[in-house]
Structure 1
Amino acid sequence: MSVSIKGKSSFAVKKQAKLLAEKQAITNYLKRVSPAAGSQCEQQLIDDRAALIQRISPQGISQVGDSVEASYLVRIDDEKFNYRLEELGCGSQSGAAEVVILIMEEPPTAGDIAMILNDADASGTRELRGLGPFVLYYTSYQRAIRDAIISKANMEGLKLTRLDTVDDFQKMKMSHDDPMVGVYFDTENEDFALNQRLIKEVKRKFAGKSTIILYYRIASLYFDQVQRELKAAIAISMHDLDTGETKSVGEQDFMVMIPEGQPGPAIRDGLSEVASNAASLLMNRAKKEARRMSSIAQKRAQTQNKSADLTTVNLKLSSKRNMYKVMKALSPASVKDSGMQGEELVIHLTSGTSAEDFVFVELLGLIEGMGISIPDQNIQFNDKQVTIRQ
Structure 2
Amino acid sequence: MTAFSLEPAQLAWCAELRALAAERLHPLADKGEPGHVNRTLVAELGSLGLLGRLFTSGALDLCLMRESLAYACTEAETALALQGLGAHPVHAYGTEAQRAHWLPRVTAGTAIAAFALSEPGAGSDAAALELRAEADVSRAGRSSDTSQGGRFADTPSLTVAPDGPARWRLTGEKCWISNAPEADFYTVFARTTPDAGARGVTAFLVPADRPGLTGRGLDMLSPHPIGALDFDAVPVTAGDVLGEVDRGFRVAMGTLNLFRPSVGAFAVGMAQAALDATLAHTAGRDAFGGKLRDLQAVSHQVAEMALRTEAARLMVHAAASAYDADAPDVPRRSAMAKLLATETAQYVVDTAVQLHGARALQRGHLLEHLYREVRAPRIYEGASEVQRGIIAKELYARQEAR
TM-score by length of 2: 0.22
TM-score (norm 1): 0.23
Q: Which has the higher strand share?
A: 1
State which structure, 1 or 2, has the greater radius of gyration over its C-alpha atoms.
Answer: 1
